Amino acid sequence: MEKHKGEISFPGGVHEERDKTLLDTALRECTEEIGLMAEDVEILGELDDEVSVKTNYVISPFVALIPWPYQFKVDGKETEEIIEAPVSALRDKGYSRQQIRGGETATTYFYHYQGRVIWGATARILSKFLDIFAQAM
């Protein structure tokens, strides 16, 4: 939390001994952070792992369907608010730029939504999801 405090992110956290799989970790964290119950989730698949540049954490994102509207509950500890952004609002709002990091060229992604900027690992995950979504449409 201390290293990513105040950043926009998907629910998630560290795999714990009680979690049998990374999916169990993701579902537990969703319940803890935003009140999304595992029984309300239909898992569609898993995206490729993403590494956080800032902390070197490996993030294993899952994609799921949930009923809408849903009564999310902010936990107030790890989650300050929930931002619901429709795919249609993000598909055309992203941009990227090339940067040199450690002698290598890296692409940095940004998405703007309702005066907020989504960036970093969250934006990279979102970019992968939106690319797959666009191919499916």
Peptide bond before residue 86 is cis, with ω within 30 degrees of 0? no
Q: According to the model, what pLDDT value does residue 91 have? A: 84
Which residues 6+ apart lie within 8 Å of 124 measured at CB?
50, 109
**Pairwise CA distance, residues 112 & 110, whole Å:** 7
Report H helices in 41-119.
87-91
pLDDT of residue 74: 93
Segment-wise mean pLDDT, segments of 10 residues, the chain, 137 residues: 70 96 98 97 97 90 96 92 91 79 85 92 94 90
pTM of structure: 0.87
Helix (H) or strand (E) holding 58: strand 58-59
Q: Tell me, what's the pLDDT at 99?
A: 81
pLDDT attached to residue 14: 94
The residue assigned the tokens 């990091």 is 101
User: Which residue from 25, 112, 35 is spatially nearest to 66, judged by alpha carbons?
Assistant: 35
Query: Which CATH number applies to 22-136: 3.90.79.10, 3.90.226.10, 2.40.50.140, 3.90.1150.10?
Result: 3.90.79.10
How many Å from the N-terminal Cα to the C-terminal Cα in the chain? 36
Question: Of 47, 35, 46, which Cα lies nearest the Cα of 78?
Answer: 35
For the chain, what are the domain ranges?
Answer: 22-136
User: Residue 4: what pLDDT?
Assistant: 53
Please state the three-class secondary structure of 112-134 as a single string: EECCEEEEHHHHHHHHHHHHHHH
